[in-house]
Amino acid sequence: MCERCLLAETALTRMRGLLGRRGLPSGEGILLKPASSVHM
């Protein structure tokens, strides 16, 4: 669970993901909706 969550529910926001970010601060997360697969 995360304290603050970015909702990525459009094709563009899901594709962008963490691009351009150094990471997520403690307690933050990204919810990919829908997400049939995730590549890291």
Q: How many domains does the chain have?
A: 1
pTM: 0.63
User: Tell me: the pLDDT tens digits for 23-38?
Assistant: 889 999 999 888 777 7
Strand extents, DSSP E, the chain: 4-8, 28-32
pLDDT at 40 over 70: no
pLDDT value at residue 10: 92
pLDDT value at residue 17: 86
Its domain, for residue 39, covers: 1-40
Nearest to 27 by CA among 9, 8, 3: 3
